[in-house]
């Protein structure tokens, strides 16, 4: 924004609440959740959902565990009305789920809404009218506060009058002073209390007072002050459910909701993945999984978040961003080398520690939750590009391809492979990493290769083995022989006899390759050149002896690369 433009804006006034208590509160229990995907989310779509798509989404929301679902604005369009009727007439609403409909406080719209919900076991009738000074001035042509308050009161009276016309439906009233976020608190209170006086809720028959952050004008702490102020001053507080409905204009929908709950709210409205007008609604997935990450049960099941995201993207034709909390494609992915190394160490250590304590508290660097708990897999956590490090590449080779590289081999392998990613200018796939490892570090046969190898374990020297090998060195074939205390040592002695030994073997490891189609063994041999250079070579073969030999030859060749 240009500096000259800033003069047109004003700071949002703070709430005078010096004895605020919400900063000392913590969230210990989940609120009542209400999905507004099928109404608020749907009306924000470039192409609204069809009835069939809404039915599919409704079923998904029920499976997730939502007990209150705002299904639409049935008085606004035939599609909305017909969807509501299909839910009721086809008995699609589970016994423990309450549908919610939205309607402006206008007589003909309220009457049409009652026609829509007739026959439902239980329904929330959500009435609203705009209350802010800006809306009063612009939308309602300078209407007075009294006129706006009376709209709310008359709407509540009509709802109460119509309840007996659908005797088989339990009606719960919800009132929203729309644009509460920039309405004077005393006037928002006046409107809400006027509706409360009409409805006369009781602790057994509660009313919902919804305080929407329709447009985010202020920081989350001011929103929390507003919620705490209202909770203190509303009539019949014990007979009310105070509800939050935060939008995300300032990018703080989650924070505003969490602080609003600390300030005394009982209920939360929002959508999956934050779909909604402008920058969207509160993302209920985000808030619920934040609670889960602190050990708080929410009643919502996001254990298969990938499938949920697929349904959402299909019926809404929206996409979940790659960095979207919890659900994004890359949120459990580390490209940074230091992050990758820490994640690998954390996962390896946890795997060992949980064998003795299955209930061990979660603790892996850079991962606030276990990705498996929401249907993600570890295979996608570490991915490799030019910013990656040795730990991440070793992790991929281990988890994806069953190759457990010695730790001191990680830098050697890591540098070559992330140099390759840098050269290509893109991320490497797990298979590309495996292929590069095999090409650069496993069974390398130039300039030296073994054409034939024979090992004799029974010799005149006790504990010794003899080897006889046909090798090709720089295109020339020759035979070498050696005697040693094992297969690798015997070959080293053969190389020494042929004038080829300018190194010493300083380490050796081996293991079975996990998850491969063949029963291969992997061996790793560390060689130190006479000039001090230290390198690892890897050999892979069905025979553990041949794998070790190939690892030694690879190390020798790499010293000459």
Q: What is the CATH number of the domain that holds 369?
A: 1.10.287.1400
CATH number at residue 554: 3.30.160.270
pLDDT tens figures, 368-394: 999 999 998 655 566 677 666 677 888
Query: Is 1 contained in some domain?
Result: no
**Residue 228 and residue 253 in one domain:** yes
Q: What is the pLDDT of residue 470?
A: 95
Distance CA(211)–CA(195), nearest Å, equals 14
Helix (H, G, I), strand (E, B) or coil at 511: strand
**Residue 147 and residue 238 in one domain:** yes
**Residue 305 and residue 352 in one domain:** no
Q: What is the pLDDT of residue 39?
A: 96
Query: Is 19 contained in some domain?
Result: no
**Residue 396 and residue 544 in one domain:** no
CATH number at residue 154: 3.20.20.70
**Residue 128 and residue 258 in one domain:** yes
Q: What is the pLDDT of residue 171?
A: 98
Q: Does pLDDT of 417 surpass 70?
A: yes
What does the block give as tokens for 331?
């949120």
Q: Residues 6 or more apart from 106 whose CB is under 8 A from it?
A: 155
- Over 455-481, what HEC string results? EECCCCCCCCEEEEEEEEECCEEEEEE
Q: Does pLDDT of 457 surpass 80?
A: no
- Comparing 203 with 333, which gets the higher pLDDT? 203
Query: Is 2 contained in some domain?
Result: no
**Residue 74 and residue 162 in one domain:** yes
Q: Cβ–Cβ contacts within 10 Å for residue 364, how many?
A: 19
The strand pairing partners of 246, in sequence order, are 213
Q: What is the pLDDT of residue 337?
A: 72
Q: What is the pLDDT of residue 68?
A: 98
Q: What is the mean pLDDT of residues 67-85?
A: 95
Query: Is 141 contained in some domain?
Result: yes
Distance CA(414)–CA(398), nearest Å, equals 13
Do the beta carbons of residue 127 and residue 113 sit within 8 Å?
A: no
**Residue 372 and residue 271 in one domain:** no
Best CA proximity match to 239, nearest among 279, 271, 280, 197? 197
Per the annotation, binding residues for Mg(2+) are 40, 245, 247, 281
Q: Name the average pLDDT for the chain.
A: 93
Query: Is 472 contained in some domain?
Result: yes
Per the annotation, binding residues are 40, 245, 247, 281
Distance CA(364)–CA(347), nearest Å, equals 6
Domain boundary among 399, 417, 441: 441
Query: Is 500 contained in some domain?
Result: yes
Helix (H, G, I), strand (E, B) or coil at 525: strand
pTM of the model: 0.78
The strand pair at 476-484 and 503-512 is best described as unpaired
The strand pair at 503-512 and 521-529 is best described as antiparallel
**Residue 145 and residue 196 in one domain:** yes
pLDDT tens figures, 509-551: 999 998 755 679 999 999 999 999 999 999 999 999 999 999 9
Q: What is the mean pLDDT of residues 60-74?
A: 97
**Residue 48 and residue 158 in one domain:** yes
Best CA proximity match to 12, nearest among 221, 266, 275, 237? 221
**Residue 290 and residue 355 in one domain:** no
Cis peptide before 447 (omega within 30 of 0): yes
Query: Is 432 contained in some domain?
Result: yes
Using pLDDT thresholds of 50, 70 and 90, give the confidence band for residue 169.
very high
Tell me 266's DSSP state: -
**Residue 351 and residue 310 in one domain:** no
Q: What's the domain count of the chain?
A: 3
Query: Is 200 contained in some domain?
Result: yes
**Residue 463 and residue 398 in one domain:** no
What is the per-residue burial (b if ≥16 Cβ within 10 Å, else e) of 373-400?
ebebebeebbbbbbbbbbbbbbbbbbbb
Q: Is the dihedral of CA 45, 50, 51, 52 positive or negative?
A: negative
Domain boundary among 390, 423, 441: 441
Domain boundary among 267, 283, 316: 316
Identify the domain containing residue 200 by its residue range: 29-316
């Amino acid at each position: 924004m240009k500096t000259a433009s800033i003069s047109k804006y004003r700071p949002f006034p703070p709430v005078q609440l010096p004895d605020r208590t919400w900063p000392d509160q913590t969230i210990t229990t989940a609120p009542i959740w209400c999905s507004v995907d099928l109404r608020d989310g749907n009306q924000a779509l470039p192409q609204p959902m069809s009835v069939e798509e809404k039915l599919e989404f409704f079923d998904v929301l029920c499976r997730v565990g939502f007990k209150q679902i705002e299904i639409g604005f049935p008085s606004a369009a035939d599609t909305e009305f017909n969807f509501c009727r299909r839910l009721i007439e086809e008995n699609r609403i589970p016994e423990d789920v309450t549908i919610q409909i939205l309607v402006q406080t206008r007589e003909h719209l309220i009457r049409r809404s009652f026609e829509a919900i007739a026959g439902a076991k239980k329904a929330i009738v959500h009435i609203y009218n705009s209350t802010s000074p800006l809306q009063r001035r612009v939308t309602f042509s300078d209407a007075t506060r009294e006129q706006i308050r009376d709209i709310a009161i008359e709407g509540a009276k009509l709802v109460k009058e119509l309840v007996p016309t659908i005797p088989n439906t339990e009606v719960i009233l919800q009132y929203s002073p729309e644009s509460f976020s920039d309405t004077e608190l005393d006037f928002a209170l006046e409107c809400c209390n006027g509706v409360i006086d009409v409805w006369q809720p009781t602790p057994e028959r509660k009313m919902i007072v919804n305080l929407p952050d329709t447009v985010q004008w202020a920081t989350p702490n001011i929103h929390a002050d507003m919620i705490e102020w209202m909770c203190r001053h509303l009539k019949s507080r014990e007979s009310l459910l105070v509800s939050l409905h935060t939008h995300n204009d300032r990018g703080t929908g989650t924070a505003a909701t969490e602080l609003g709950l600390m300030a005394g709210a009982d209920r939360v409205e929002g959508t999956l993945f934050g779909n909604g007008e402008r920058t969207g609604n509160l993302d209920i997935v985000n808030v619920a999984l934040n609670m889960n990450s602190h050990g708080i049960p929410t009643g919502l099941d996001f254990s298969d978040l990938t499938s949920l995201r697929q349904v959402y993207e299909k019926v809404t034709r929206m996409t979940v961003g790659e960095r979207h909390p919890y659900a994004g494609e890359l949120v459990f992915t580390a490209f940074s080398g230091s992050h990758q190394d820490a994640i690998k160490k954390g996962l390896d250590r946890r795997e060992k520690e949980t064998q003795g304590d299955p209930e061990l508290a979660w603790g892996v660097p850079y991962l606030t939750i276990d990705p498996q708990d929401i249907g993600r897999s570890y295979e996608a956590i570490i991915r490799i590009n030019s910013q990656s490090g040795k730990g991440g590449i070793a992790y991929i080779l281990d988890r994806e391809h069953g190759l457990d590289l010695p730790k001191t081999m990680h830098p050697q392998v890591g540098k070559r492979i992330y140099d390759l990613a840098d050269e290509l200018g893109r991320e490497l796939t797990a298979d590309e990493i495996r292929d590069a490892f095999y090409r650069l570090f496993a069974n390398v046969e130039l300039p030296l290769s073994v054409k034939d190898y024979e090992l004799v374990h029974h010799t005149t020297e006790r504990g010794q083995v003899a080897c006889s090998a046909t090798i090709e060195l720089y295109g020339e074939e020759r035979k070498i022989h050696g005697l040693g205390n094992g297969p690798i040592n015997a070959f080293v002695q053969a190389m020494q006899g042929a004038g080829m030994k300018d190194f010493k073997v300083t380490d050796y490891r081996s293991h079975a390759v996990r998850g491969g189609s063949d029963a291969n063994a992997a061996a790793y041999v560390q060689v130190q050149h006479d000039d001090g250079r230290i390198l690892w070579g890897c050999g892979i073969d069905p025979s553990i002896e041949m794998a070790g030999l190939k690892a030694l030859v690879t190390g020798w060749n790499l010293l000459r690369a």
